[in-house]
């Protein structure tokens, strides 16, 4: 079955492609990437020059980011996956705030099972879990209030699903996405198409300081991982707004320790009150290449929020695999 | 940041918790609302907390620290903390006791101040809490407030039946109302007694967000409380009377005999309130006793 290209997607993709291309040179050189990052980039490579068929089916690339396979949602494996997911979904909905639910859109080849609140898959549940945890930790309140306008920094950006969820639930917040060329292209196209009224901003290496000016006028901003404030001496002096929350949905553990430390230290330096990091939740670990431990780095800069207790996470949020770490900023690091 | 005349004073009656103090202090010092002073009074003369406090006080003039030369016990130290706060910052509008082992959300103080600023009839604002044990957390499910209850007797009645003393006592209070209510008295469950008295001076508002993470190491135990309140085995005989009798006696003395409710209310009203408290607290005690004798009873009910 041919999946149609969503309305406006061609234009948004072309615009994102041009803006991301202009960032060339500002991305982290491939020589500094880990094997996991290189493999991820290779899996996402078709996004760089997407034809109509690729553009219409961008969701297929989610597998390279979160490990969620569309093939698990049809055929022989679907029944077992559905049984487990529907049980988890029910537990999350029974205890949670349904206003935080954002279902999987059909656009770009969206997939999943039909649930009480719409289409869903493992990514959908993950986003609902993260938002629910943030709500219970009273972290989401400033984002829902929007005054003063808070900023959420998402490390990696993924395929745009989390940015879409946040944009839907918290339209009065600014969402900063940093990542690789492919991640920015993928997430920018996705978000721009689903939120055509959103005010987007793309980093321009020709005027780095301008990226951070009039920040309140930005809904979603995209920048290379390499311009993370504090990344080097050149970026240290930039007028970066204070971040309220930093979210890592599994990208940090793909990086090497020095870059993990740089991201977390930057989060702390910019005053981010909270950090949330998921690690160890995917199945795509390459043999002989364990993921980088993120928790010890986060612990140096952030106190663990009581909600990060494994027993509670398992009982309330069905987090059985990996680590879900919510931290609040230490005064001294 | 230097706050010469803070609107808010946080009083910490400490008892030798060097393991938790750094995290606790940081959760207070990183509040989004910074116009407060923090008064710490250490009740363990041998405690190793001075160095920890000094490390933070060096960079933050909001912190004041004293150590008692002899142990006062919990009641004595809570009273001393408040007395020092009032002496140093007589113009501060709001006061809250804070423990040396819990943590607070960065918006805790801002949210509670916003409530008291917006509701002149409120004398106490407190948030929902998370109970934190060594390996788990539980939400405190019960809710209580007297928002919109204008009559003193009605507020007292409702408080006697349902208040959540253990959580409310750590809320943000109007300092003047707290002073009028009598601070902390040498009775068992003095937090409950104080909150009952406070209900006569204004309303209680509960903020519906979980903004306080409360360490819970053990269930409530009355004998342990006596040992902590009256150190050195000096529990007075009256402390073995039912708590609601002790509380009623204090209310009667303060408001019916000494007339401390003036100008808000007179002695006759004070007598009536003491009787109201006695009646409804007795009803509550009876119900709790029946519940504990029921075959389906699960121990560990939060004391309130």
Say whether B210 and A138 touch across the interface (CB within 8 A).
Answer: yes
Phi-psi category of B140—alpha, beta or left, where left has phi over 0 and alpha has psi -120 to 50? beta
Question: Are A138 and B211 inside 8 Å of each other by CB?
Answer: yes
Q: What is the mean pLDDT of chain A?
A: 92
Question: How near does any CA of chain A get to the CA of B142, in Å?
Answer: 16
Residue of B nearest to A314 (CA): B136
Residue B26: which of A136, A309, A330 has the nearest Cβ? A330
What percent of chain A has pLDDT above 70? Answer: 94
Predicted complex ipTM: 0.92
Structural contact between residues A294 and A265, judged by C-beta atoms closer than 8 angstroms: no
Q: Do B209 and A141 touch (CB under 8 A)?
A: yes
Q: How many CA atoms lie within 13 A of B6 on its CB side?
A: 27
- Residue A34's nearest CA partner among A225, A277, A229, A247 is A225
Minimal C-alpha gap between A295 and chain B (Å):
18
| Cβ pair A331:B107 closer than 8 A | no
Query: What integer is the mean pLDDT of A294-303?
Result: 97
Q: Which residues of chain B register pLDDT less than 70?
A: 1-4, 296-304
Q: How far is B217 from chain A (nearest CA, A)?
A: 14
Strands A151-155, A245-248: pairing kind: parallel
Tokens found for residue A106: 């059909």
Partner residue opposite A307 with nearest CB, options B30, B107, B137: B137
Q: Is the dihedral of CA B46, B49, B55, B58 positive or negative?
A: negative
CB count in 10 Å sphere of residue B259: 14
Question: What is d(CA B43, CA B123) in angstroms, rounded to the nearest whole number?
Answer: 28
pLDDT range class, residue A286, cuts 50, 70, 90: low
Beta-carbon contacts of A261 under 8 Å, excluding residues fewer than 6 positions away, are A297
pTM above 0.80, yes or no: yes
Averaged pLDDT, A62-69: 93
**Residue A329 main-chain phi, psi, to 5 deg:** -65, 130
Run of H or E residues at B118: helix B108-118
CB neighbours (10 Å) of residue A85?
Answer: 21
Region of A67 (left: φ > 0; alpha: ψ -120 to 50; beta: rest) is: left
Query: CA-to-CA distance for B101 and B215, rounded, in angstroms?
Result: 7
The residue behind tokens 């690729």 is: A54
User: pLDDT of A132-172, one tens digit each?
Assistant: 999 999 999 999 999 899 999 999 989 999 999 999 999 99
Residue A178 and residue A251 in contact, taking contact as beta carbons nearer than 8 Å: no
Question: Residue B249's closest CA among B223, B273, B266?
Answer: B273
Query: Do the beta carbons of residue A289 and residue A36 sit within 8 Å?
Result: yes
* Residue pairs between chains A and B whose CB atoms are closer than 8 Å: 40
Mean pLDDT of A259-276: 94
Q: Which residue has the tokens 């959103």?
A: A198
* Partners of B42 in beta bridges: B14, B67
Q: Residue A312: helix, strand or coil by DSSP?
A: helix
pLDDT of residue A287: 44
B83 to chain A, closest Cα gap in Å = 29
- Chain A interface residues (partner B, CB cutoff 8 A): 136-138, 141-142, 273, 303, 306-307, 309, 311-312, 328-331
- Residue A311: list chain B partners with CB under 8 A: 135-136
Q: Which phi and psi (to 5°) does residue B249 adopt? A: -60, -40
């Amino acid at each position: 079955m041919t999946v149609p290209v969503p309305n406006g997607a061609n234009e948004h993709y072309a615009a994102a492609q041009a803006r991301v291309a202009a960032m060339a040179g500002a991305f982290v050189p491939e020589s500094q990437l880990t094997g996991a990052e290189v493999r991820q980039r290779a899996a996402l490579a078709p996004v760089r020059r997407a034809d109509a068929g690729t553009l219409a089916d961008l969701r297929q690339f989610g597998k390279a980011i979160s490990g969620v396979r569309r093939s698990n949602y049809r055929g022989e494996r679907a029944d077992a996956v559905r049984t487990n997911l529907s049980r988890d979904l029910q537990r999350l909905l029974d205890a949670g705030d349904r206003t935080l639910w954002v279902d999987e859109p059909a656009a770009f080849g969206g997939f999943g099972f039909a649930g009480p609140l719409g289409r869903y898959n493992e990514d959908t549940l993950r986003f609902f879990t993260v938002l629910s945890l943030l709500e219970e930790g009273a972290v989401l309140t400033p984002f829902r209030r929007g005054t003063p306008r808070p900023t959420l920094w998402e490390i990696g950006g993924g395929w745009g699903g989390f940015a879409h969820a946040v944009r839907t639930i918290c339209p009065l917040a600014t969402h900063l996405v940093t990542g690789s060329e492919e991640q920015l292209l993928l997430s920018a196209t996705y978000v721009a198409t689903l939120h055509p009224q959103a005010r987007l901003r793309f980093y321009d290496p020709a005027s780095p300081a301008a990226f951070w000016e009039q920040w309140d006028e930005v809904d979603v901003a995209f920048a290379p991982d390499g311009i993370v404030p504090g990344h080097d001496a050149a970026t240290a002096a930039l007028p970066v707004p204070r971040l309220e929350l930093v979210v890592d949905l599994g990208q940090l553990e793909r990086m090497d320790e020095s870059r993990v430390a740089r991201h977390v230290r930057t989060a702390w330096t910019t005053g981010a009150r909270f950090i949330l990091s998921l690690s160890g939740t995917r199945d795509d670990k390459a043999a002989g290449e364990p993921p980088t431990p993120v928790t010890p780095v986060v612990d140096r800069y952030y106190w663990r929020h009581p909600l990060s207790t494994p027993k509670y996470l398992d009982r309330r949020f069905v987090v059985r695999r990996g680590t879900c770490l919510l931290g609040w900023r230490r005064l001294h690091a | 940041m230097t706050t010469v005349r803070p609107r808010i004073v946080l009083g910490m009656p400490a008892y030798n918790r060097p393991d938790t103090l750094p995290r606790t202090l940081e959760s207070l010092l990183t509040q989004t609302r910074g116009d407060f002073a923090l008064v710490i009074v250490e009740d363990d003369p041998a405690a190793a907390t001075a160095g920890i406090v000094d490390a933070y006080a060096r960079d933050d003039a909001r912190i004041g620290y004293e150590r008692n030369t002899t142990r006062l016990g919990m009641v004595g130290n809570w009273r001393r903390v408040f007395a020092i706060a009032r002496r140093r910052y007589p113009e501060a509008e709001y006061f809250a006791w804070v423990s040396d082992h819990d943590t607070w959300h960065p918006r805790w103080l801002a949210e509670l101040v916003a409530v008291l600023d917006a509701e002149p009839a409120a004398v106490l604002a407190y948030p929902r809490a998370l109970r934190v044990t060594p390996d788990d957390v539980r939400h405190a499910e019960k809710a209580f407030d007297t928002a919109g209850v204008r009559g003193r007797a009605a507020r007292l009645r409702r408080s006697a039946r349902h208040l959540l003393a253990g959580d409310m006592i750590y809320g943000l209070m109007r300092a003047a109302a707290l002073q009028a209510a009598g601070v902390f008295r040498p009775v068992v469950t003095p937090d409950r007694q104080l909150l009952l008295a406070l209900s006569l001076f204004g309303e209680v508002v509960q903020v519906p967000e979980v903004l306080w993470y409360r360490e819970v190491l053990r269930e409530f135990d009355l004998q342990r409380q006596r040992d902590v309140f009256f150190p050195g085995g000096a529990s007075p005989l009256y402390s073995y009377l039912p708590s609601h009798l002790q509380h009623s006696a204090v209310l009667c003395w303060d408001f019916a005999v000494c007339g401390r409710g003036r100008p808000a209310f007179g002695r006759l009203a004070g007598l009536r309130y003491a009787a109201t408290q006695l009646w409804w607290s007795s009803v509550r005690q009876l119900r709790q006793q029946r519940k504990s004798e029921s075959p389906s009873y699960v121990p560990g009910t939060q004391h309130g």
